[in-house]
Amino acid sequence: MTSDVVSVTNGVAGYDGRPVLRDVSLTVTAGEVVAILGANGSGKSTLVRAVLGLVPLSAGSVTLFGRPARRFRQWHRVGYVPQRLGAGSGVPATVAEVVAAGRLARRGILRPPGRADREAVAEALRAVGLADRAKDPVATLSGGQQQRTLIARALAGRPELLVLDEPTAGVDAVSQEAFAGALRDFTAGGGTVLLVAHELGPLRPLISRAVVVHQGVIAHDGAVPDPAGHHAAPDHDHVHPHGPEEPAGLWSAR
């Protein structure tokens, strides 16, 4: 067996016939913390969604824990943190109820939750600093706290691999720090992380490798590139448009 946790070989994917990923290969080994960077529309989110099987590959292959993704069934080993909580439908749900959904991959759908499940939920909430909000409706939380709820949900399943899609986009500083802390604990326990980010912020010291996706291909795979231009300013606002006209530097590093 190999220690490859995630492996994408010559992956091609797109939406409605428009190619987004063009011949991408990527390997993440156990214990690594890999950041996928890139401008909006570069294909970085599509890459992780393809890894998780949410976007089908039109060519190439994905393996998870050494097993072809198509035949992979041990989903309790994977924790997924989406970009944001879906738009609320009005039916309230408490923070603990949302986080408890993270136990389903481990427990199966028929077994009722037991003590181990409740303990895992409480521990995950403590890890992200939301233990005191467990009984509050998620809709009353700030965006950053909702994001922390989602990482708690992923952690509650005690996964070996965390896949995060822009976890800190639009998240306040307190939540970003809480996020970085939870991630640090996770990697200290031997966990593997694959995360998509627009900018790294407080997560930067945790990253062991950076992969830059540019126009559907991998433009850089190695050390975390230094922020260039005004990106380097510690508190710059991300209000400028992204796209092909992105200034040379970070995204075009090769």
Partner 1 sequence: MSLFQYDFMLRALLGALIIGLAAPALGIYLVQRRLALIGDGIGHVALTGVGAGLLFQTSPVLMAVVAATIGAVAIELIRERGRTSGDLALALLFYGGIAGGVVLVGLSDSTSANLNAYLFGALTTTHPEDLITIAVLGAAVLVTMLLLRPALFAVCHDEEYARVSGLPVRALNLLLAITTAITVTIAMRAVGVLLISALMVVPVATAQQVTRGFRSTMAAAMALGLFAAGAGIWMAAVADTAPGASVVVLAIASFVVVTLLAAGWRRIRRSRPQPTPVPEPHEVVLGGS
Binding site for partner 1 (CB under 8 A): 52-54, 73-76, 78, 80, 82, 85-86, 88-94, 96-98, 100-105, 109-110, 112-113, 135-137, 139-140, 153, 157, 163
Give the CB-side neighbour count of residue 179, counting CA atoms within 13 A.
31
Token pair 């930067």 is found at: 204
Nearest residue (CB) to partner 1, 113 versus 243: 113
| Contacts of 113 by beta carbon, 8 Å cutoff, 6+ apart | 100, 103, 107
> Residue 253 Cβ, how far from partner 1 at the closest point, in Å?
31
Q: How far is CA 140 from the centre of its chain?
A: 23
> Residue 74 Cβ, how far from partner 1 at the closest point, in Å?
8
**What is the 8-class DSSP label of residue 91?**
-
Nearest residue (CB) to partner 1, 143 versus 227: 143
> Residue 144 Cβ, how far from partner 1 at the closest point, in Å?
15
> Residue 240 Cβ, how far from partner 1 at the closest point, in Å?
29
> Residue 96 Cβ, how far from partner 1 at the closest point, in Å?
8
**What is the 8-class DSSP label of residue 178?**
H
Query: Tokens for 246?
Result: 């992105």
| Contacts of 182 by beta carbon, 8 Å cutoff, 6+ apart | 127, 128, 148, 151, 152, 155
> Residue 104 Cβ, how far from partner 1 at the closest point, in Å?
5
What gap in Å lies between CA 207 and CA 32, rounded to an integer?
8
Nearest residue (CB) to partner 1, 28 versus 219: 28
Q: Are 46 and 13 in contact (CB under 8 A)?
A: yes
CA R_g for the chain: 18
Nearest residue (CB) to partner 1, 88 versus 247: 88
**What is the 8-class DSSP label of residue 136?**
S
Q: How far is CA 61 from the centre of its chain?
A: 20
Q: At what angle do helices 143-156 and 173-188 cross, to 10 degrees?
A: 10
> Residue 207 Cβ, how far from partner 1 at the closest point, in Å?
23
